[in-house]
Amino acid sequence: MSQGRSGAEQRLVTPGMAIGPLSGMRVGSGAIIHNDEIIATKLGWVREFNGTISVDPINSPYLPRSGDLVIATVAEVRNNLWFMNINGSFQGLLPMSLAPWKVEFGHARQHMDIGDSALARVQEVDECHNVVLTMKGVGLRRLSQGAVVEVPVNHLDRIRGLNNSNLDRMKDVSDCRIIVGENGRVWIDGSEQGISWAREALNIAKKHGHKTDFDKLMSQHESNYVNKGDA
């Protein structure tokens, strides 16, 4: 998240705090205009980029957007659709017409049952937060192996790193397949040892993802594993 910042000032603000005058600035996410001043609406870091001032929240719930790749879990099954838990305020709906299989009416449970995880994409979100998911697309499938770890949504950028550098490093070190869902769920698949290391790395991200020394902690965790492997 550090990319794109201008200036050295990085302020942690709380809701209601004035973060700057309105003059010449556009208001981004996490901020509103009040009495010609820009006010933070969330607890987070002030970011100024390209004339837009916004707040990167430290905590925030997942708000689905069309096109998001998500790791969903089946919460309910009906004759012709699945209700999927996408780690958001509302469940996502996966109709059988958007499933990757030919599903007959009443046989949805044979393909995915309650508790199963799947890689899906958000097809549509309406103004009332109704979410429609699709599993038609390259790579979208039921996840029948591996582990799913939940991380804070706002730490995903740090987990990925600049141009996915952190994520690629995690994949290399753990020798695991790792998929990061936009909904704060990460799927890891590989050797038991690799999964365990990646899980620990994600726990570090969970606890220290907002800190300056996050990269240092990750490097430490990485070198511990590499040294252990050498021994």
Partner 1 sequence: MGGYGDIQLLREDGLRLDGRKLDESRPVTIQAGILPAADGSAMVTHGLNVAVAAVYGPMEAHPRKIQRQDRAVIDVRYNMAPFSTSDRIRPGFNRRSREISKVTAEALESVVLVERYPRSKIRVEIEILAAEAGTRCAGITAASVALADAGIPMRDMIVGVASGKIEDTVVLDLDKAEDNYGQADLPAGILPNTGEIAFLQMDGDLSPEEFDLAMEYNFKAAKEIHEIMVEALQSRYQGGDK
The contact set with partner 1 (CB under 8 A) reads 1-2, 10, 12, 14-18, 30, 32, 34-35, 39, 41-45, 56-61, 89-91, 127-129, 154, 158, 210-213
Angle at 15 between CA 12 and CA 19, to 5 degrees: 60
The answer to whether the Cα torsion of 137, 64, 154, 113 is positive or negative is negative
DSSP strands (E only) in the chain: 12-13, 18-21, 26-27, 31-34, 37-40, 44-49, 52-57, 69-77, 81-85, 92-95, 117-125, 131-134, 142-143, 147-150, 177-180, 185-189
Rounded to a whole number of angstroms, the minimum distance from the CB of residue 93 to partner 1 is: 12
Distance in Å, CB of 225 to partner 1, minimum? 24
What is the closest distance, in whole angstroms, from the C-beta atom of residue 123 to partner 1 in the complex? Answer: 19
Q: Which is nearer to partner 1, 15 or 51 (CB)?
A: 15
In the bound state with partner 1, the residue whose beta carbon lies nearer, of 150 and 189, is: 150
CB of 51 to partner 1, least distance (A): 21
**With the C-alpha atoms ordered 211, 215, 218, 224, is the resulting torsion angle positive or negative?**
negative
156 or 176: whose CB is closer to partner 1?
Answer: 156
As measured in angstroms, the least distance from the Cβ of 211 to partner 1 is 5
The nearer residue to partner 1, 118 or 125, going by C-beta atoms, is: 125
| 231: exposed, middle or buried (Cβ count in 10 Å: 0-12, 13-18, 19+) | exposed
Write down the number of H helices and E strands in the chain: 5, 16
Closest CB to partner 1 among residues 10, 220: 10
Minimum CB distance to partner 1 smaller for 39 or for 198: 39
DSSP, residue by residue, 191-223: -HHHHHHHHHHHHHHHHHTTSTTHHHHHHHHHH
- Nearest distance in Å: CB 20, partner 1: 14
Query: 13 vs 178, which CB is nearer to partner 1?
Result: 13
Closest contact distance (angstroms) between CB of 217 and partner 1 is 11
Across 29-45, b (16+ Cβ under 10 Å) vs e yields ebbeeeeeebbbbbbbb
For residue 57 the two structure tokens come to 């929240």
